[in-house]
Amino acid sequence: MPRRVLIATTGSLGDLHPYIAIGLELRARGTTVTIATNNFYRMKVERTGLGFTSMGPHIPPVNSEPMQRAMDLKKGPEYLLRQIMYPGVPAAYTEVMEALHRTDVIVTHPIAFAAQIAAEKTGLPWISAVLSPTVFLSRFDPPVLAPYPLLAKLRPLGPGPNGLIFRLARATTKRWMAPISRFRVSIGLPPGQDPVFEGQHSPQRVLALFSRVMAEPQPDWPPRTLITGFAFYDQSDHGQELDPDLQRFLDSGPAPVVFTLGSAAVQQAGSFYRESLDAVRHLGCRAVLLVGDNPIPEPLPPGTAVFAYAPFSKLFPRASVIVHPGGIGTTAQALLAGRPMLVVPYAFDQPDNAARVERLGVARVIRRTDYTARRLTPEVEHLLSDTSYSAAAREVGGTIAAEDGVGSACDAIENHVVR
């Protein structure tokens, strides 16, 4: 059993929270856990009682120009990799290497490239952990690619045509990885595999931190992949409960429609909250809006409450419908709550997560560019009136509630032996 585990992650709160959940359970089992991530999360991590060490890029996760550009539906992934992640690898590698002399096992997020390289360089036991099925880029279960959503129409054609699409994608991203290859050679490693494809996955063990309701194992997934189930953590401040005002609002009437943009898309809200409020006026329903720092136009419709944030695990079970952008953390909480959802994908894995929950029969999907009160109103009405969505959501929620994603992930980490 490892005594010291280093978990390396980068991105938004949705990329941090599942690893905090795993870290807290490992600590409860007697393991010393350190999270390596953006310095802007230092206080948040330390308040949980877990250890913290710096690993860049150290970009403000909210209201920063780089994060806004990274959220662009078409160009965001390329910008994130070529302008932020790849150039930042040498500095992040230096940071994480300083922590590895106190480590028995290293666990890495899909784009924690520096930590993946450090694991390879040191020969430490290494587990990679992915948060959503999108990352596997399977030709047998092809994801919806955010920059090219229309390619999803080729899904029924099978692995041949979809494999060709991924070969073309590989040819594109391989050209981007020159800085990574040069750095690897400079520290005595071979140029390596494309970090967007095989390079991010450990040959020793891969943890798929999602439920089987989202995806079943495929022949072209990395060897030694284990589906654990979701790893849930959703507190802005450790130990956070529902705001008393929100609790009173929920207790005072029928279940509201909840509108949220999660932890990343909330920085690119655009007209989301304005259109949502217009739809609430047409619907005449109660509503809760989680708005972050976004200003909200007054006056509010009757029966509407606005809060910066609330723990999804405590709010979503009280909702009638949940409207959100499809980040895997928010999607997981909505599934666990057993509530129907309307998904408005913004970027990254969100279009694929949206397509998967739509196929489950628990959700409807609106494109971000179509998110207007005129389109939104009938979609929410449909979810409220068609009981098949609620029935399917309750069934899926029961399945997920019976899983123990955190426990399964921690068991795998504790039992990890390099073969």
Residue-wise pLDDT for 243-276, tens only, equals 999 999 999 999 999 999 987 777 777 889 999 9
Distance CA 73, CA 388 (A): 31
110 Cβ neighbours under 8 A, 6+ residues apart? 128, 130, 131, 135, 200
Q: Residue 158: pLDDT above 70?
A: yes
Q: Residue 381: which H helix or E strand, with range?
A: helix 373-385
Domain boundaries, the chain: 4-230+403-414, 244-401
With contact defined as beta carbons under 8 Å apart, do 86 and 177 qualify? yes
| CATH superfamily to which 4-230+403-414 belongs | Glycogen Phosphorylase B; (3.40.50.2000)
Q: Which of 15-24, 225-234, 344-353 has the lowest average pLDDT? A: 344-353
Q: What is the pLDDT of residues 217-244, one digit of tens each?
A: 999 999 999 999 999 999 887 877 899 9
Distance CA 260, CA 188 (A): 46
Q: Which of 87-96, 155-164, 369-378 has the lowest average pLDDT? A: 155-164
Helix 89-100 to helix 178-186 angle (10° resolution) is 40
417 confidence band (pLDDT: 50, 70, 90)? low
Residue 241: what pLDDT?
A: 86
**DSSP for 125-177?**
-EEEEESSGGGG--SSSPPPPTT-GGGGGGGGG-HHHHHHHHHHHHHHHHHHT
Distance CA 305, CA 372 (A): 20
Stretch 330-348: mean pLDDT: 95
For residue 216, which amino acid is it?
E
Stretch 90-110: mean pLDDT: 94
Q: Which of 69-78, 371-380, 388-397, 406-415 has the lowest average pLDDT? A: 69-78
Stretch 101-129: mean pLDDT: 95
Distance CA 29, CA 18 (A): 17
The yes-or-no answer to whether 4-230+403-414 and 244-401 have a common fold is yes
Residue 174: what pLDDT?
A: 82
**DSSP for 86-110?**
TTTHHHHHHHHHHHHTT-SEEEE-T
Q: Residue 406: pLDDT above 80?
A: yes
3 Cβ neighbours under 8 A, 6+ residues apart? 31, 32, 104
Quote the mean pLDDT of the chain: 92
- Beta-bridge partner residues of 88: none
**What are residue 258's phi and psi, to 5 degrees?**
-105, 130
- Measuring CA to CA, how many Å separate 183 from each of 118, 195, 250? 12, 13, 54
Distance CA 198, CA 413 (A): 21
| CATH superfamily to which 244-401 belongs | Glycogen Phosphorylase B; (3.40.50.2000)
Q: Residue 419: pLDDT above 70?
A: no
Helix (H, G, I), strand (E, B) or coil at 15: helix
Distance CA 224, CA 205 (A): 5
- Beta-bridge partner residues of 324: 343
Distance CA 113, CA 136 (A): 16
Distance CA 403, CA 231 (A): 10
With contact defined as beta carbons under 8 Å apart, do 106 and 125 qualify? yes
Residue 270: what pLDDT?
A: 83
With contact defined as beta carbons under 8 Å apart, do 75 and 82 qualify? no
- Beta-bridge partner residues of 205: 127
Helix (H, G, I), strand (E, B) or coil at 11: coil
